[in-house]
Amino acid sequence: MASCRLWFRGALIACMFLLGLMAVWVVMPALRRFLGMRGEPVCVSIIRNWNRGVCRILKLRLMVTGRPDPAAGLTVANHISWLDIIAMGSLKPLVFVAKEEVAHWPVMGALAQGIGTLFIRRGDPEQAAVTLENMTWQLRRGVNLMLFPEGTTTRGDQVLRFHGKLLLPAQLAGANVQAVALRYRGPAAEVAPFIGDDAFLPHLLRVLMLPCVDLELHFCPTLPVGLRRDQVARTSRRQIEEKLQPGPERHERVRLEHRASPTRNGQSSQ
């Protein structure tokens, strides 16, 4: 019975990936071509609902404290897994900034490129400068960006130094920055981390074998405009570390169900 459920969920995920590829390669380009800017809200809705569908299949349960700030142009978080991206993408429209290696992942790389992810090539100052300039331009246009300033994933038991250079676009664009602390709970704390030489497909299989994936997301107070990039790096990292400190269960935690309807400001309602 367990193997049947695994195969069933695997088949559902495969269908979702195929639908995602069709959406980013065919449907969304057609909408943008024929409808122009009028098609953009539909594209945003397609991406968000796809993320929510994947969350349901993986039984990714999000437990949220605080609220995503719609005025935050840049969202930053500690990084543990590719699941972080699915979870955050299900909560609000975001354009992600990722290392260039992600573009070469099977399936997920094609999806990342199709939704407009901005890639940074590590060790290439010229390419990084172009991406940072693009980030600044996007923030000035009002696009919501998200990046993981550690520059890599961890097991979730520590928060590495935040690279201040990645936060320069927020300083230049005068954008608000909101930090989010991510923490996997239960069996997922051991399985969800995607680190080192992990390959995507074997890791996906291990995730599918879990009965559920519990993920806490702690949205921190938004940082004011005008801080230097090094101040943003230190303060946002400290906010995340404080949220991840062990302690009693927080009573204000709210579970967001992905089948819930969105409210006016784009957040999920109970």
pLDDT tens digits along 118-130: 999 888 889 989 9
Token readout for 82 is 């590719």
pLDDT for the residue numbered 1: 64
Helices (DSSP H) in 115-247: which residue ranges? 125-140, 168-173, 188-191, 200-208, 229-243
pTM of the model: 0.88
Averaged pLDDT for residues 135-163 = 95
Q: How far is CA 73 from CA 128, 139, 149, 170, 254, in A?
A: 20, 6, 15, 8, 24
pLDDT for the residue numbered 167: 96
Q: Name the band, by pLDDT with cuts 50, 70 and 90, for residue 264.
A: very low
pLDDT for the residue numbered 4: 82
Averaged pLDDT for residues 204-227 = 95
C-alpha R_g of the chain:
18
Q: Model confidence over 14-59: pLDDT tens digits?
A: 999 999 999 999 999 999 999 988 889 999 999 999 999 999 999 9
* Residue 105 pLDDT greater than 50, yes or no: yes
DSSP state, residue 165: G
- Cβ 192 vs Cβ 207: under 8 Å: yes
- Cβ 20 vs Cβ 111: under 8 Å: yes
Q: What is the phi-psi region of residue 225: left when phi exceeds 0, alpha when psi lies from -120 to 50, beta otherwise?
A: beta
Listed in order, strand segments (DSSP E) in 153-196 are 176-185
Number of neighbouring beta carbons within 10 Å of residue 116: 14
Q: Name the band, by pLDDT with cuts 50, 70 and 90, for residue 80.
A: very high
Q: What is the C-alpha separation between 123 and 182, in angstroms, rounded? A: 27
- Cβ 97 vs Cβ 147: under 8 Å: yes
- Cβ 59 vs Cβ 215: under 8 Å: no
pLDDT for the residue numbered 224: 87
What does pLDDT average to over the chain?
Answer: 89
DSSP state, residue 209: T
pLDDT for the residue numbered 268: 38
Q: How far is CA 235 from CA 48, 162, 178, 246, in A?
A: 29, 10, 10, 19
* Residue 251 pLDDT greater than 50, yes or no: no
* Residue 255 pLDDT greater than 90, yes or no: no
Q: What is the C-alpha separation between 111 and 97, in angstroms, rounded? A: 14
